[in-house]
Structure 1
């Protein structure tokens, strides 16, 4: 079956999923959760094939970390499906209602988006999470994972397809596309505007740029996470160091990990060596501006001098950029210049400053005295996420089931004409 035939069948399946009772959608997800747990060994065997291939492909540590599965991760995938199943039905909700001057009864009602294509790299859990979220919200999904995770993804989809068959539902409700060897192969998918309603790319900067430039279908970008923490001189020292350590070192490969620490010059000579020592103990490679490097040199802490363009970079590794700023306004300007609109935080005990930061920083998630690592569908109470949108249209931040719906108007009259 060629791609056009696959997408045609997926489009037809939207008519079935959109009408599927909520209880059946819930039961399907619960059955899939049981299926994942019952097949842990086969999932791990498939994942091992991918990990062996990844070593041969010389993938970096961050990619391998995202690729790897273990029993705990698989059980977490199952638990995410159960949480999503338990949510209220996102469909057929009356979002608003009113009568106009002519007596028409007008209701704004939530409905599925239709066919959603999700293009992603490495993480096999994305296959389970996104399939579950799309199904819950009555959407058909087309999944295009990276070739490095194809065995793991196929093993997960085999379980979902078995459950679809048991529920007498079309397998095209959840479709995993074959592995593609190069990005150019994506163009046929990106041009399929007659069959696909939305494209969601999540991955590296190159993938996002390619999809955005070539897609003829609306795109919600899940772009790189150049996340910042600004440490103001009013912050609580020990608490702030703990937040910075968590944001950088708890899982450096994620898009919500901190990539740049901005330090208020007013206390940089005291604060920077303390936080740098703590980071060094966690194996963090420090890079920074000339002033940062000079301060740390006096404490025999190594810091690599980097040019300004390095602050655009998402490392996805245990590497942190340092920058000393003269003022709050300079911190804002730096984030606006180099940030990606993902997640940014301020550490301070000045209420007015904190509120100004929340209002001035135009990122999807803006924090006061908390780690950027909380930018996550699970932490936001969504059970899972399709990704973390850095777009400005339709959805921003962690995207759960409600972000996968749109609406239509239902209008009831009794003979009105205009």
Structure 2
């Protein structure tokens, strides 16, 4: 891709902010077509699909925040001069062409595109059919912003409309060079992309987030964090799914009952392991081990019992999606051990998993939450959408 000057990129983003503001009613009208055609009984997906005035404000803010960040391209990572006189610089560089495959959320069409463009990448957007009208309108806005600044629209941002078979063929035989693919969705989507893609795949994995209530937990903090993490936004990948109770916590049975009562007040369906069901007989049983692996994306939570922090760590590392995990404890040494040994992108002490988000973590807009370890784990912001390149300067040196 041609390297664009920082001012040109920022001017495109300024134009996009204005267009989003001026055309917000047209976007909301396009979104209404998507909503009218969608089965609203799938609450998590429906919530992700909605575009309202607040969502448009959020889109404008996301573009503005990225515009105000430093340009990530061409930053010096290291510099050294060798004994033979070679001078070697390592600088950040664009990936090239990035493809993102995602469902439902039109705001991803904003965040993915603004991040990719500011990092000087082309972005191919493969949104779900349920958001086609919304995404098509947003693509029109992007193309208008690019044209206003003298750039060829489809050279930078392109919305793809393909069914599953067409997507498979695209991944197997892409019509242009793809440098990175980000599947943002469930296990089936991720596996589908891994099976057919010919380039690097960066996984934005499922949630299935765990919280462990340690024996030295502050109970008021535990209740507050659990209710927020579970009920604040059930459609988010950083929502809580599983709660592990330490059997040695003072007032164990009473605390289990208190938490269950509070969750039920919030309309949360409860599942429980055999021991917890002795305390909560109305909780549904765990019908299969696969339930421990499941990301609920619903008002649903599983409560289980463990004997100590080691058992909690083992349970989490066996079943979680590697997204976010939390320990509630006043014992900082135990918290440190938990946070070091749990294999998740974000680990918490005494705070809601809902903070695993680019904006909340100070990264700004995010392409996804990566659960991979290469090349980055956690929120994929502007700084993570570049790779690197070595610049080697010599004066006729040859290797002997």
Q: TM-score, normalised by structure 2?
A: 0.96
Instruction: Please give the alpha-carbon distance, in whole angstroms, between the structure 1 residues aligned to 2:315 and 2:235.
Output: 23
Matched residue SS, 1:266: coil
Q: 2:346 aligns with which of 358, 365, 373?
A: 365
Q: 2:158 aligns with which of 172, 175, 180?
A: 175
Instruction: Please give the alpha-carbon distance, in whole angstroms, between the structure 2 residues aligned to 1:79 and 1:386.
Output: 15
Matched residue SS, 2:108: helix
Write out aligned runs for 1:17-416 (5 A).
19-55=3-39, 60-172=42-154, 173-178=156-161, 180-181=162-163, 183-192=164-173, 195-267=177-249, 268-297=252-281, 302-306=282-286, 307-416=288-397
Matched residue SS, 1:378: coil
Q: TM-score, normalised by structure 1?
A: 0.92
Matched residue SS, 1:279: helix
Residue 287 of structure 1, CA deviation: 0.7
Instruction: Please give the alpha-carbon distance, in whole angstroms, between the structure 2 residues aligned to 1:189 and 1:385.
Output: 25
- Matched residue, 1:6: none
Matched residue SS, 2:46: helix
Matched residue SS, 2:125: strand
Instruction: Please give the alpha-carbon distance, in whole angstroms, between the structure 2 residues aligned to 1:317 and 1:208.
Output: 21
Q: Which shows bigger deviation, 274-283 or 78-87?
A: 274-283
Residue 215 of structure 1, CA deviation: 1.2
Instruction: Please give the alpha-carbon distance, in whole angstroms, between the structure 2 residues aligned to 1:217 and 1:192.
Output: 11
Residue 362 of structure 1, CA deviation: 1.4
How many residue pairs align between the two structures?
A: 394
Residue 59 of structure 1, CA deviation: 5.9
Residue 270 of structure 1, CA deviation: 2.7
Instruction: Please give the alpha-carbon distance, in whole angstroms, between the structure 2 residues aligned to 1:291 and 1:95.
Output: 53
Residue 189 of structure 1, CA deviation: 2.2
Instruction: Please give the alpha-carbon distance, in whole angstroms, between the structure 2 residues aligned to 1:388 and 1:348.
Output: 26
- Answer whether contact 2:20 2:141 (CA < 8 A) is retained: yes
| Structure 2 gap ranges (5+) | none
